[in-house]
Structure 1
Amino acid sequence: MNSPPPAALVRATLRLQFRAGMTIDDATALVPQFARLGISHLYASPLFAARPGSTHGYDTVAYDRIDPALGGEAALTRLADRLHAHGMGLILDIVPNHMAVDAHNAWWMDVLAWGQASAHATWFDIDWHDPDPDLHGRVLLPFLDRPLPEAIVAGSLELRHDGEGGLFHIHHYEHRFPLCPASYAGLLAQVDAPGALLAAFTTVALRDAPGAEADSALAALRHWVATQRGQGAMARLAILHDGCDPAGRTRLEHLLAVQSWRLACWREAATRINWRRFFDITGLVAVCVERAEVFEAMHGYLFSLYQRGLVDGVRVDHIDGLAAPAAYCQRLRARLDALGRLRPESALPGAAVYVEKILATNEDLPAAWPIAGTTGYDFMNQVSAVLHDDRAAPVLDRLWATCGPDAKACGLIAREARAQLLAEGFVAEFGRLTRLLATALKARGEDGTPAGLQAVLEAVLVFFTLYRTYFGDEVVQDHTEDGAALHAAARAARPRLETGLEPVLDAVMRVLSARPEHAPAACVRRAEQAFEHLTAPLAAKSTEDTTFYRYGRLISRNEVGADPARLGLTVADFHAGCTARARLHPAAMLTTATHDHKRGEDSRARLAVLSEMAPQWCAQVSEWFAQNGAQVAIGPDRIDELMLYQSMLGAWPLIPFASMATREAWCERIVQWQTKALREAKRHTNWLDPDAAYEEACTVFVRRLVANGAFMAQMEQVVARIAPAGALNGLAQTLLRLTTPGMPDLYQGCDLWDFSLVDPDNRRPVDFGLRHALLEHTNSFDVSAATWRTGQVKLDLIRRILSFRARYPDLFAKGSYQPLEAEGADRDHAIAFLRQHDGFSLLVVAPRLPLGMEVQADTLALGRDMALRVAVAQHAGPWHSLLGAAPVQAATPFTRGQVPVVCLVHDAGGRGLS
Structure 2
Amino acid sequence: MSETRVPVPRATYRLQFHAKFGFAEAAALAPYLARLGVSHVYASPYLKARPGSSHGYDIVDHGRFNPELGDEAAFRDMVAAFRANGLGQVLDFVPNHMGVGGSDSLWWLDVLEWGPDSDYAGWFDIDWEPDRRYLLGKLLVPFLGDQYGAVLESGQLSLRFEPETGSFAVWAYDTHKLPICPLQYQHVLGDAHPELERLGDAFSGLPNWRPRVVQRARDLQAVLAALARERADVREAVGAAVARLNGEPGRLETWRGLDALIQEQHWRAAHFRVAADDINYRRFFNINELAGLRMELPELFDHAHALVFSLLREGVLDGLRIDHVDGLFDPKGYLLRLREQAPRPFYLVVEKILARHEALREEWPVEGTTGYEFANLVLGVLVDPAGEAGLSKVYAGFAEDARPFGEIVRDCKIRIMLNEMASELNVLARDAARIARQNPRTADFTRNILQRALKEIVACFPVYRTYVDGAVPVEEDRRYIDWAVAQARRNETDVDPSVFDFLHRLLTTDLVAEPRSGFSRHTVVRFAMRVQQYSGPVMAKGLEDTAFYRYNRFVALNEVGGHPDHFGVSLASFHKSNAQRAARWPHAMLNTSTHDTKRGEDTRARLAVLSELPEEWARQVQAWSRILRARRGDVEGTAPPDRNDEYLFYQLLLGAWPAELTGVGGLDAGQVGAFVGRMEGAIIKSLREAKLHSTWAAPDAAYEEAMLGFVRDALDVSASDAFLGAFLPFQERVARLGVHNSLVQTVLKLTVPGMPDIYQGAEVWDLSLVDPDNRRPVDYERRMWLLDEVTVALERDRRAALREMLAEWRDGRIKLGVTSLLLAYRRAHPGLFAEGAYEPLVAVGARAEQVCAFARRHGEDAAVVVAARFPVRLAADPDWAGTVLPWPRIEGQRWCDLFSGREIVPSDNGVGIEVVLGDLPVAVLVLEGT
TM-score interval w.r.t. the shorter chain?
Answer: over 0.9
Per-residue deviation, 1:792:
0.8
Give the structure 2 partner of residue 346 of structure 1: none
Distance 1:495 1:517, change over 3 A: closer
CA–CA distance in structure 1, aligned partners of residues 367 and 769 of structure 2: 29
Give the structure 2 partner of residue 28 of structure 1: 27
CA–CA distance in structure 2, aligned partners of residues 380 and 845 of structure 1: 19
CA–CA distance in structure 1, aligned partners of residues 459 and 729 of structure 2: 43
Distance 1:40 1:894, change over 3 A: farther
Matched, 1:754 2:766: yes
Report which stretch shifted further, 16-25 or 48-57.
16-25
Matched, 1:669 2:673: no
CA–CA distance in structure 1, aligned partners of residues 679 and 382 of structure 2: 25
1:13-52 matches, cutoff 5 A:
13-52=12-51
Give the structure 2 partner of residue 465 of structure 1: 462
**Alignment check: 8 A CA contact 1:465 1:539 kept:** no
SS of the equivalent of 1:566 reads: coil
Letter in 1 for 2:455: E
Give the structure 2 partner of residue 211 of structure 1: 214
Matched, 1:700 2:695: no
Give the structure 2 partner of residue 90 of structure 1: 89
Per-residue deviation, 1:190:
4.4
Matched, 1:230 2:242: no
Letter in 1 for 2:334: Y
Give the structure 2 partner of residue 823 of structure 1: 844
Distance 1:444 1:876, change over 3 A: farther
Decide which of 266, 269, 284 is 1:263's aligned counterpart.
269
Letter in 2 for 1:621: V
**Alignment check: 8 A CA contact 1:76 1:310 kept:** no
SS of the equivalent of 2:650 reads: helix
**Alignment check: 8 A CA contact 2:148 2:270 kept:** yes
CA–CA distance in structure 2, aligned partners of residues 6 and 441 of structure 1: 49
Give the structure 2 partner of residue 612 of structure 1: 612
Matched, 1:764 2:776: yes
Letter in 1 for 2:457: V
CA–CA distance in structure 2, aligned partners of residues 746 and 34 of structure 1: 11
Matched, 1:377 2:366: no
Decide which of 182, 197, 200 is 1:198's aligned counterpart.
200
The two structures, once aligned, show a CA RMSD in angstroms of 2.0
**Alignment check: 8 A CA contact 1:679 1:686 kept:** yes
Decide which of 886, 890, 894 is 1:871's aligned counterpart.
886
CA–CA distance in structure 2, aligned partners of residues 309 and 588 of structure 1: 21
Report which stretch shifted further, 794-803 or 709-718.
709-718
Distance 1:889 1:555, change over 3 A: farther
CA–CA distance in structure 2, aligned partners of residues 79 and 248 of structure 1: 55
> 1:431-482 deviations in whole A, cap 9, x for unaligned?
01111111222225424122321221121111113110111x36x5762211
Report which stretch shifted further, 268-277 or 650-659.
650-659
Distance 1:217 1:670, change over 3 A: same
Letter in 2 for 1:299: H
Give the structure 2 partner of residue 858 of structure 1: none
**Alignment check: 8 A CA contact 1:599 1:757 kept:** yes
SS of the equivalent of 2:150 reads: helix
Letter in 2 for 1:242: N
CA–CA distance in structure 2, aligned partners of residues 152 and 107 of structure 1: 26
Matched, 1:487 2:482: yes
Distance 1:192 1:529, change over 3 A: farther
Per-residue deviation, 1:193:
4.9
Matched, 1:326 2:329: no
**Alignment check: 8 A CA contact 1:880 1:906 kept:** yes
CA–CA distance in structure 1, aligned partners of residues 678 and 90 of structure 2: 31
**Alignment check: 8 A CA contact 2:744 2:921 kept:** no
CA–CA distance in structure 2, aligned partners of residues 451 and 467 of structure 1: 24
Distance 1:551 1:193, change over 3 A: farther
Matched, 1:884 2:900: yes
Decide which of 242, 251, 255 is 2:246's aligned counterpart.
242
Report which stretch shifted further, 896-905 or 167-176.
896-905
SS of the equivalent of 1:211 reads: helix
CA–CA distance in structure 2, aligned partners of residues 268 and 147 of structure 1: 9
Distance 1:424 1:581, change over 3 A: same
CA–CA distance in structure 2, aligned partners of residues 29 and 866 of structure 1: 50
SS of the equivalent of 2:872 reads: helix
SS of the equivalent of 1:745 reads: strand
Letter in 2 for 1:23: G
Letter in 2 for 1:670: M
Letter in 1 for 2:144: L
1:121-136 matches, cutoff 5 A:
121-136=121-136
**Alignment check: 8 A CA contact 1:827 1:867 kept:** no
Matched, 1:731 2:743: yes
Give the structure 2 partner of residue 640 of structure 1: 645
1:382-393 matches, cutoff 5 A:
382-393=377-388
CA–CA distance in structure 1, aligned partners of residues 496 and 191 of structure 2: 60
CA–CA distance in structure 2, aligned partners of residues 246 and 900 of structure 1: 72
CA–CA distance in structure 1, aligned partners of residues 306 and 160 of structure 2: 35
CA–CA distance in structure 1, aligned partners of residues 639 and 290 of structure 2: 36
CA–CA distance in structure 1, aligned partners of residues 698 and 737 of structure 2: 42
Per-residue deviation, 1:517:
8.7
Letter in 2 for 1:361: R
**Alignment check: 8 A CA contact 2:449 2:495 kept:** no
Give the structure 2 partner of residue 10 of structure 1: 9
Per-residue deviation, 1:264:
1.1
> 1:856-891 deviations in whole A, cap 9, x for unaligned?
xxxxxx944454211113542310222234334552
Give the structure 1 partner of residue 656 of structure 2: 651
Report which stretch shifted further, 796-805 or 648-657.
648-657
Decide which of 378, 397, 401 is 2:396's aligned counterpart.
401
> 1:185-211 deviations in whole A, cap 9, x for unaligned?
232124425054234313325447743
1:133-212 matches, cutoff 5 A:
133-173=133-173, 174-194=175-195, 195-207=197-209, 210-212=213-215
SS of the equivalent of 1:61 reads: strand
**Alignment check: 8 A CA contact 2:148 2:269 kept:** yes
Q: How does the TM-score come out when normalised to structure 2? A: 0.93
Give the structure 1 partner of residue 824 of structure 2: 803
CA–CA distance in structure 1, aligned partners of residues 6 and 731 of structure 2: 43
Per-residue deviation, 1:497:
2.1
Per-residue deviation, 1:527:
1.4
Give the structure 2 partner of residue 344 of structure 1: none
CA–CA distance in structure 1, aligned partners of residues 385 and 82 of structure 2: 44
**Alignment check: 8 A CA contact 1:5 1:372 kept:** no
Report which stretch shifted further, 281-290 or 772-781.
772-781
> 1:344-373 deviations in whole A, cap 9, x for unaligned?
xxxxxx410111110110211112210111
**Alignment check: 8 A CA contact 1:548 1:558 kept:** yes
SS of the equivalent of 2:270 reads: strand
SS of the equivalent of 1:562 reads: coil
Matched, 1:851 2:854: no
Give the structure 2 partner of residue 743 of structure 1: 755
Letter in 2 for 1:393: E
Give the structure 2 partner of residue 347 of structure 1: none
Give the structure 2 partner of residue 296 of structure 1: 302
Per-residue deviation, 1:400:
1.5
Letter in 1 for 2:190: A
CA–CA distance in structure 2, aligned partners of residues 784 and 143 of structure 1: 53
> 1:87-115 deviations in whole A, cap 9, x for unaligned?
22111111111111131100010000000
**Alignment check: 8 A CA contact 2:193 2:234 kept:** no
> 1:525-572 deviations in whole A, cap 9, x for unaligned?
231122112111111111111111101111100000101011111011
Distance 1:603 1:848, change over 3 A: same
1:34-73 matches, cutoff 5 A:
34-73=33-72
**Alignment check: 8 A CA contact 1:392 1:614 kept:** yes
> Aligned residues, how many?
889
Report which stretch shifted further, 648-657 or 679-688.
648-657
CA–CA distance in structure 2, aligned partners of residues 399 and 682 of structure 1: 23
**Alignment check: 8 A CA contact 1:819 1:832 kept:** yes
SS of the equivalent of 2:660 reads: coil
Per-residue deviation, 1:382:
0.5
Report which stretch shifted further, 229-238 or 788-797.
229-238
Report which stretch shifted further, 437-446 or 387-396.
437-446
Distance 1:561 1:218, change over 3 A: same
